[in-house]
Amino acid sequence: MGGLTALQVKNAKPGRHADGRGLYLFVRDSGSRSWVLRTQADGKRRDIGLGSVRELSLAQARARASEVKAQILSGEYFRQKPELVPATVPTFAEAARQCHEAIKGGWRNKHHQASWLASLERHIFPAFGSIPVNEITSLMVRDALAPIWLGIPETARRIFQRIRTVLDFAHIKGWCDQEVILRSVTRGLPRQPPCDNHFPAMPYPQIPALFSKLRTLPQTAGRDALAFTVLTAARSGETRNALWSEFDLETRVWTIPASRMKMGKEHNVPLTDPAIEILLRRLPLRDREGGFAFSSFGKRPISDMTMSKTLRDMGYPEFTVHGFRSTFTDWAAECTDYRKEVVDKALAHKLQDRIEAAYRRTDFFERRRKLMQDWSAYCQPAEEIDDSREAQLQFSLDM
């Protein structure tokens, strides 16, 4: 009998390897090996697992495959194992939503809970969301990822991982007879630029010009969010999902709950006059007490691309929104005498030294308030601030 040899079974690389007559060796990326029989049942192709290579030798797998095929022909196989009769298979979109519901409880970050599914809805569901999950192929995945693979590489990589998770979930649920191998997907896509985890940052000397330009443009949710993010040195997601209930305009503090912080710890941000001014300008637009502060439609926050688009439209396509945190860090290091610990707390960074973190309980709030005031003054020099605007701001806060 032709086909595989015992040595080939032992050394086979990840993938499917045909032995003949419907018998395949299935090698996962982890190195585990199992036997699969591909056959027809009720007019539909079925992949039936026969067992691990550790349990069945090549000769035993061939014998077992012949036995199962005979049982299928007689109808005995599915009478013995009714659970293997194909049930209604959900679409990829339905499977993704069920997968999301099953795993989201383990995430502390509520923004991640929302973005995980939203990224699939935006980029993947239009491509193959309506197709049964057991019919998804690596070619479909490649074609869906191709339009974003180079444009938003980090997002594309995350989406690719989420597709893997959904397909693994579908396999565990019994909707897919075998795990779907997506190892070849990236081979059909152009090579992404190296990821060094550094976000292109605007040099701090350009920041005053950025704010001067912002003041000449019509005010929009995206421009207000961008300016507020720079002024507070916040992460873009923290700004986009900020709720009105998190702001205390009287004490000038923005309290970001632990559930929305990367480190899972509540963070208090001192608000300067320019930041307060942005909030007061947006206050009449809120649709409810606990609504989103930066929203185009009231009921949902602006997308993660809105601020990036604002930067591009202003003529800064080479910089990222997250990079402004590095801009702030460089400015503080080169233009001020503030201690690094104060700057790190302003960025809500976690202390790397666990012993120091255990003993250092202060958040340097008052020092951070002064730091952020100096940063705001650098972003918007005093000579560019209209006296009438300052008076109006004080009047609004006194109301």
Domain end (from 84, 114, 129): 84
Alpha carbons 388 and 335: distance in angstroms, whole number: 29
Considering the domain boundaries, does residue 198 fall inside one? no
Residues 342, 254, single domain; the answer is yes
pLDDT at 176: 81
Q: How many of the other CB atoms lie within 10 Å of CB of 349?
A: 15
More confident residue, 181 or 374: 374
First-last CA distance in the chain: 90
pLDDT band at 85 (very low <50, low <70, confident <90, very high): very low
Residues 221, 341, single domain; the answer is yes
pLDDT tens digits for range 369-384: 999 999 999 998 765 5
Amino acid (one-letter) located at 17: H
- Most confidently modeled of 216-225, 255-264, 285-294, 378-387? 216-225
Considering the domain boundaries, does residue 372 fall inside one? yes
pLDDT band at 108 (very low <50, low <70, confident <90, very high): low
Positive or negative torsion for Cα 322, 323, 326, 328:
negative
pLDDT at 109: 58
Alpha carbons 193 and 181: distance in angstroms, whole number: 24
pLDDT tens digits for range 139-177: 899 999 999 898 788 888 889 999 999 998 888 887 887
pLDDT at 29: 62
- Average pLDDT for 64-90: 68
Considering the domain boundaries, does residue 148 fall inside one? yes
- Average pLDDT for 277-298: 83
Residues 331, 239, single domain; the answer is yes
Residues 288, 218, single domain; the answer is yes
Q: Is the pLDDT of residue 198 over 70?
A: no
Q: What percent of the chain has pLDDT over 90?
A: 31
Alpha carbons 80 and 156: distance in angstroms, whole number: 44
- Average pLDDT for 386-399: 48
Q: Is the pLDDT of residue 28 over 80?
A: no
- Average pLDDT for 243-260: 91
Q: How many of the other CB atoms lie within 10 Å of CB of 120?
A: 22
Number of H helices, E strands in the chain: 18, 7
Domain end (from 60, 84, 108): 84
- Average pLDDT for 102-113: 71
Residues 178, 231, single domain; the answer is no
Q: Which residues of 255-279 are buried (b: 16+ CB within 10 A; e: fewer)?
A: ebeeebbbeeeebbbbbbbbbbbbb
Token pair, residue 267, equals: 């963070």
pLDDT band at 120 (very low <50, low <70, confident <90, very high): very high
Number of structural domains found in the chain: 3
pLDDT at 84: 44
Q: Rounded to 5 degrees, what angle do the CA atoms 131, 132, 136 make?
A: 75
CB 232 within 8 A of CB 270: no
Give 292's DSSP letter.
B
pLDDT at 298: 65
Residues 221, 141, single domain; the answer is no
The CATH number of the domain holding residue 308 is 1.10.443
Domain end (from 34, 67, 84): 84
pLDDT at 40: 72
Q: Is the pLDDT of residue 12 over 90?
A: no
Residues 59, 77, single domain; the answer is yes
Give the distance, in angstroms, between the CA of residue 352 and the centroid of all CA atoms in the same chain: 24
Residues 270, 345, single domain; the answer is yes
Picking from 219, 206, 207, 199, the residue whose alpha carbon sits closest to that of residue 308 is 199
Q: Is the pLDDT of residue 360 over 60?
A: no
More confident residue, 40 or 64: 64
pLDDT at 111: 58
Does the predicted TM-score (pTM) go above 0.75?
A: no
pLDDT at 307: 92
pLDDT band at 88 (very low <50, low <70, confident <90, very high): low
Q: 155 lies in which domain range?
A: 92-188
- Beta pairing, strands 253-256 & 33-41: unpaired
Residues 312, 234, single domain; the answer is yes
pLDDT band at 357 (very low <50, low <70, confident <90, very high): very low
Residue 353 to residues 6, 341, 358, 363, 367, Cα–Cα distance (Å):
52, 12, 9, 16, 22
Stretch (H or E) spanning 255:
strand 253-256
Residues 180, 214, single domain; the answer is no
Considering the domain boundaries, does residue 125 fall inside one? yes
CB 146 within 8 A of CB 153: no
Report helix angle 153-173 to 110-123, nearest 10: 90
pLDDT at 152: 80
Q: Is the pLDDT of residue 86 over 70?
A: no
Considering the domain boundaries, does residue 239 fall inside one? yes
Residues 80, 96, single domain; the answer is no
Residues 119, 74, single domain; the answer is no
- Average pLDDT for 191-210: 78
- Average pLDDT for 341-368: 70
Considering the domain boundaries, does residue 195 fall inside one? no
Picking from 191, 164, 21, the residue whose alpha carbon sits closest to that of residue 99 is 164
The CATH number of the domain holding residue 162 is 1.10.150.130
Amino acid (one-letter) located at 232: T
pLDDT at 334: 84
Q: Is the pLDDT of residue 3 over 50?
A: yes
34: three-class secondary structure by DSSP: strand
Considering the domain boundaries, does residue 197 fall inside one? no
Average pLDDT over the chain, rounded to whole?
82
pLDDT at 208: 93
Picking from 363, 360, 314, 370, the residue whose alpha carbon sits closest to that of residue 337 is 370
Least confident range of 20-24, 75-79, 214-218: 75-79
Considering the domain boundaries, does residue 194 fall inside one? no
- Average pLDDT for 306-310: 91
